[in-house]
Amino acid sequence: MRKPCCEKTEMTKGAWSKQEDQKLIDYIQKHGEGCWNSLPKVAGLRRCGKSCRLRWINYLRPDLKRGSFGEDEEDLIVRLHTLLGNRWSLIAGRLPGRTDNEVKNYWNSHLKKKLPIMDTTLLPPNKPHASNHAPNGKHVKYFNDIDDDVDEVIDDEVSTDSVNTGNVNSNTDRISSCLAPPDLNLDLTLSIMSSTS
């Protein structure tokens, strides 16, 4: 077992102060992202590198789109989750200005409870090492490989849906329709796996 990245007892934990935020922003504006482990020392922060990275990616990045999710984004999350399961980083990659943490939180706190009680066989596996996982557990690389194909499907579905959703009244109905769209090929992942292996 590897040692924890930051076992130093003097490391600060918990909520970030404005001063800390500013130090991190200043440092990254000067030096760019990367070298997270050495960053705190150079930037004068008493935080571990992982904490700095998380703070930057999830909160401080200038391209972040704060605020509530739009209906289009909601649809896309549901669709992508249907295809990919809990691959939050991949899902977030399809949502400009959104982070994996934000998408994950939004799913857990908003979308999950909107979903109708349904046949769980329609749901994807939560872990990449479930039935349709990539060989050797290299799920990230594997999912990146199919990324472009998913992109095509999602683009098609969203453009179609953006026309259709005008007639759908409730969120629940809208999400239900997303979960079982008549022409969405939910076997895509599997078929790509077999075709690329």
Give me the residues that bind DNA (CB under 7 A), please.
Answer: 1-2, 4-6, 12-16, 34-38, 47, 49-51, 53-55, 58-59, 68, 86-90, 100-102, 104-106, 108-110, 113, 126-127, 136-141
With respect to DNA, which residue has the nearer C-beta, 3 or 166?
A: 3
Least spacing, CB of residue 8 vs DNA, in Å: 11
Distance CA 51, CA 13 (A): 8
For residue 163 the two structure tokens come to 């026309």
DSSP code at position 197 = -
With respect to DNA, which residue has the nearer C-beta, 106 or 161?
A: 106
Least spacing, CB of residue 91 vs DNA, in Å: 8
33, 18 in Cβ contact below 8 A?
no
With respect to DNA, which residue has the nearer C-beta, 71 or 156?
A: 71
For residue 126 the two structure tokens come to 């939560």
